[in-house]
Amino acid sequence: MAATGPPSSQITPPEPSPTLPTGTAGQSTGPRGPSPTLPPGPSGPSLGEKRPRDPSPPPIGGALSTGVGASSSTLPPPQKRTRPGAMTKGKAPANPRSWSMPSGEVPTEAITTKATVELHARILWLLPNQTSLPPPVVQDLVDAFDKRYTSEEEIKTTVRSAFSKYGNYINDARKRVAELRKLLLPLHSTISDNIGRVGEAFLILMFQGVASNGLTRWAPDILGDAESMYNLVHEHVCLFTLTQVASIFGYNFMSVNLDVVRNKSTLMSFFYRSFVFGRMKALVRMEARCKGRVKEVSMLKGSYERRAKLAHERTEYLKSNGFPVHTAYIFKPPAANSDDECETVPYALGMGPSEAMQLASAAVYGKSGASGSSYNVLKKVGRAEKVTTFAIALDEYRVLAKKFKVKNATYKEERTRNHLPAESALRKDSKLTAFPKAKDEKDPPFPIDWYAPDYFNNHMTLYERHQVVKDGIVIALPPIEHCTADKWKNWKNLSRKDFMKKYGKKELKKYIIPTADEVALLEAYAKGDATLSEYTDSSDEEDEVDDSMGDVPVVGNAGATAGVDAGGDGVAGPSGGAGGGGGGDEMDTEL
């Protein structure tokens, strides 16, 4: 027994026009004119009218003189020859960013509708998560559609008239829905969860709309012209079926704005194109340049977000517990914190890749209490071991305090971060290798002792070392044996002067600080060769060279530590100079 789609009372289709398989060019009103602008219909301006930042192309080769029914391939060539693949004046730029709409430019009332357009396109495309990529396009099908249609108005009428025949394609639609459900089964993400919330009847309606317009599957040609006949069919099918589903409340969970969907077709079209020919096109190009790059970027994005959250929570805990400023801000830059990965521990337990991924996914959503659901902390290259020791002790107290502070059972279990021993073969280096620096100008200089002395002295360039100390020198932590939680009370409440006298000076002597002469040379290089004459003059006497060797720094050079030796408060001045005396507990101007 044949089934039908949603009641046709939801929309009154116009008189049927020739459908896709039987449409002929002879029934066309003529070739496409200089602009695809259509007269506005009862629901607002048509999808083909001139859009912001996407001007319609001017007439090619002067006035058109081809007869009625001629295809676009018979048009005369442009007057000015261009290289193959080059843009012609007036067409949409090839840069995928040209279709993007910054979030600040999206009307407030249309924000959720834009997200709905993107979700709807992903459903039709069978792309269940953010790393799924569009399938390749069959060029013969593209050519067939370009020959069948000659105007956007014809496409628009055909798509609407096909609505009355949706019931004939229910079996094809059900196959697509089953395929989509199978793809969603192992996934846990915002996109896949939202797709799973769309009802079965609504999904069938969407894929009936695809099949009734002669498409074996919905697959726009994202590398082609957005206004080709083939791509316009996909655009109208997507937006028309979205309107039907939204009108019968299929997207209520997305808080879609029906006024925008029904009456702002130009904006809806731009949302569609910004996603298909902007976002998805950029992903395809990224993957073409480097296989696997899309998945890698997606994973790194999650790492950046988790690391930034960890940095904020650590800093707030240190501040709320009264740690001194030079210590409390050591974890504020996200780059000062380690990221983690979820697959290492399951592999270490002898699991296979698929089993490991299932366990990792379950752990993210708090569905697994197995010992293998923890996450290995990746090694932060260049970071001192004492900082790692302090971070481990800090997290133990921070997580415990967070758990007992939350009331009414609203606490969300924090992921278990497994700190492996330094000599462990499973301890991998992090891929996030940027050096940390003070996040805000009002923050104190970033502590030099975050870096391991050997790494700072032997693996960083003179320029990199200067960037660390140019705003001032800060020691944040005592030696490693005093960084465990049971020793915090011995130094946490010391004034900076007393802290530097007891611990800081000893730690600072481990680092080779750039001298004033070295900094001057760096500045000379930055200004250009014209200022280097004093460094390249060969007339200097040999004894002068020998005298200059006295300025070469040794470990803990006097120039950098003068402020400390003179009774300073623990923050030396910029590299090459001294942070002057003073003493006392008040902060320097650098802080």
DSSP 160-221: HHGGGGGGGGHHHHHHHHHHHHHHHTT--SHHHHHHHTS-HHHHHHHHHHHHTTT-SS----
Return the C-alpha torsion angle 419, 423, 428, 431, nearest 10.
Answer: 90
Pair (196, 151) in one structural domain:
yes
Q: Does 166 reside within a domain?
A: yes
Whether 351 and 455 have beta carbons less than 8 Å apart is answered as: no
Q: Does 564 reside within a domain?
A: no
The reported pLDDT for the residue numbered 342 is: 59
Q: Does 12 reside within a domain?
A: no
Q: Does 540 reside within a domain?
A: no
340: β partners = 377
Pair (252, 336) in one structural domain:
no
Element (H, E) at 286: helix 281-289
The pTM (predicted TM-score) of the whole model is 0.59
Token digits of residue 222: 């994202």
β 571-572/417-418 pair status: unpaired
Helices (H), 321-425: 325-328, 344-348, 353-364, 385-405
Token digits of residue 573: 């001045």
CA 200 centroid distance within chain: 31
The reported pLDDT for the residue numbered 485 is: 92
Task: Give CA–CA dist 556/331, Å, rounded.
Answer: 25
Task: Give CA–CA dist 516/518, Å, rounded.
Answer: 5
Pair (438, 502) in one structural domain:
yes
Q: Please identify every stretch of the chain with a pLDDT value under 50, giving residue numbers as ranges.
A: 1-76, 79-94, 96, 343-373, 539-572, 574-591
Q: Which amino acid is at 522?
A: L
Whether 223 and 281 have beta carbons less than 8 Å apart is answered as: yes
Whether 163 and 11 have beta carbons less than 8 Å apart is answered as: yes
Q: Does 367 reside within a domain?
A: no
Token digits of residue 328: 């409390």
Token digits of residue 21: 């398989």
The reported pLDDT for the residue numbered 377 is: 78
Q: How far is CA 189 from CA 89, 272, 396, 567, in A?
A: 42, 22, 29, 57
Pair (297, 246) in one structural domain:
no
Pair (235, 326) in one structural domain:
no
What phi and psi, each to the nearest 5 degrees, are found at residue 572?
-70, 160
Last residue of a domain, one of 270, 289, 308: 289
CA atoms within 13 A on the CB side of 388: 19
Element (H, E) at 340: strand 340-341
Q: Which of 138, 145, 156 is nearest to 238 (CA)?
A: 156
Q: What share of the chain is helix, strand, coil (3-state, %, to 5)?
A: 50, 5, 45
Task: Give CA–CA dist 274/285, Å, rounded.
Answer: 15
Token digits of residue 567: 């009774």
- The strand ranges marked E within 444-536 are 473-474
Radius of gyration for the chain, computed over Cα atoms and rounded to the nearest angstrom: 33
Domain of residue 455, residue span: 292-343+374-405+425-528
Task: Give CA–CA dist 443/295, Å, rounded.
Answer: 35
**Buried-state track 97-119, b at ≥16 Cβ within 10 A, e below 16:** eebbbeeeebeeebeebbbbbbb
54: β partners = 51
Per the structure, the count of domains in the chain is 2
For residue 451, the SS3 value is: strand
Element (H, E) at 148: helix 139-148
Pair (282, 330) in one structural domain:
no
Pair (204, 310) in one structural domain:
no
Token digits of residue 590: 């650098």
375: β partners = 417
Token digits of residue 126: 């069978």
Last residue of a domain, one of 289, 307, 334: 289
Task: Give CA–CA dist 589/516, Å, rounded.
Answer: 21
Pair (243, 154) in one structural domain:
yes
Last residue of a domain, one of 289, 309, 325: 289
Angle between helices 385-405 and 293-320 (to 10 degrees): 80
Whether 570 and 497 have beta carbons less than 8 Å apart is answered as: yes
Return the C-alpha torsion angle 425, 431, 432, 435, nearest 10.
Answer: 70
Q: Does 567 reside within a domain?
A: no
Task: Give CA–CA dist 480/44, Å, rounded.
Answer: 70
Task: Give CA–CA dist 359/518, Å, rounded.
Answer: 53
Task: Give CA–CA dist 66/435, Å, rounded.
Answer: 64
Q: Does 80 reside within a domain?
A: no
Give, as one character, the DSSP assignment of residue 278: I
Pair (140, 196) in one structural domain:
yes
Q: Does 59 reside within a domain?
A: no
Pair (320, 380) in one structural domain:
yes
Pair (482, 507) in one structural domain:
yes
Pair (120, 223) in one structural domain:
yes
β 473-474/571-572 pair status: antiparallel
